A = this chain, B = another copy of it.
C-alpha cells in the first residue's frame, strides 16, 4: 500500500494536480477583478492567492471531504477559505518587520511586488474573506455546520493557534526553547490549521465523533511531520528549488537545530507512520490518497 518513499505515487500526483487546477478556478472566482479605485487591493489578493502554491491544505480538505462523501464543490469553498488563511499568513510573515523575505515561491514577495501597506491590507482582507466564504450558505445549507467550521478555524488560527505560534517563532529568535516548547510552537504555527483542513470534511459530512477524531489524530501527527520536514528542507534545500532564501530559519529554534538532522528525520518518519495508522478505522480505498499524502510529506523535495 505504501508508495515508494522516494516520490509521490502517480495517483497522488494526478490527484494533486487536479486539485491545483480546480482550486485555481475556485479561488479566482472568489477574488473577482475590479476596475474600482481600490483595484490594487484586489490585484494584491489575487497575486498572493493565485501564486502556484502546492495547495496541500486544500488537498487535505478535499480528500477529508471525500471520505465522508461530501459534495466537492462545497469542499472546494472550505478549501479556498483555508488557503486564504495560509496565504495571508505568508504575506504577513514575509513583511520587513517579520521574516523580511523578499521572495516567495520564486517570485517577488507581495510587499515587493506591490508595497508594504498594500501587503498588510491584502493579508487582512484575505483573512476576513476566509470567514466570509465559510459563513455563506453556498458552503453548506445548515448554519450549524457553517458556524462550526468558523469556530474551529478561528480557534486554529488566532492567539491560541497560528498567530500565537508566529509570536513564539519570533521570540524563539532571541531565546532558546526546549523540545516541548518547539513542539507546541509548531503545533500552533502550522499544526492547528492543518488539523482544521483534515477535520473540515468530517464537519461538512456530519461524521460520527470517532471518525472525526481519527482524522484529527491523523492531522496532528502529519502536521508535526510536515513542520519537521520543512525545517529539514530549509537546511538542506537549494534556493532554486524552494523559491525562497534558504537557511533563514537557522537562527530560529527548530527540531533540527535542537536534535540534529538524523534524529529529526527519524522523528518525521515515526510521525508519518503514526499518522497513517490513525486512518485504519476507514475501510476500503477512501483514505488511500491521505495515506499517500503522508508519505509525500516525508519525502517531498519542495
Contacts and interface: CB of A to CB of B under 8 A. Distances in A.
A15 interface: no
Contacts of A175: 37
Nearest to A133: B154
Contacts of A128: 127, 154, 157-159, 163
Copies of this chain in its oligomeric complex: 2
Question: Helix, strand, loop or mixed for chain A's interface?
Answer: helix
Interface residues of A, number: 51
B92 A120 contact: yes
Contacts of A171: 37-38, 40
Contacts of A163: 41, 121, 124-125, 128
A177 interface: yes
A131 B181 CA distance: 27
A277 interface: no
A143 interface: yes
Given A37-B181, A164-B41, A171-B37, A132 B118 contact: no
A42 interface: yes
A158 B146 contact: no
Interface centre among A123, A127, A154 (most CB of B within 10 A): A154
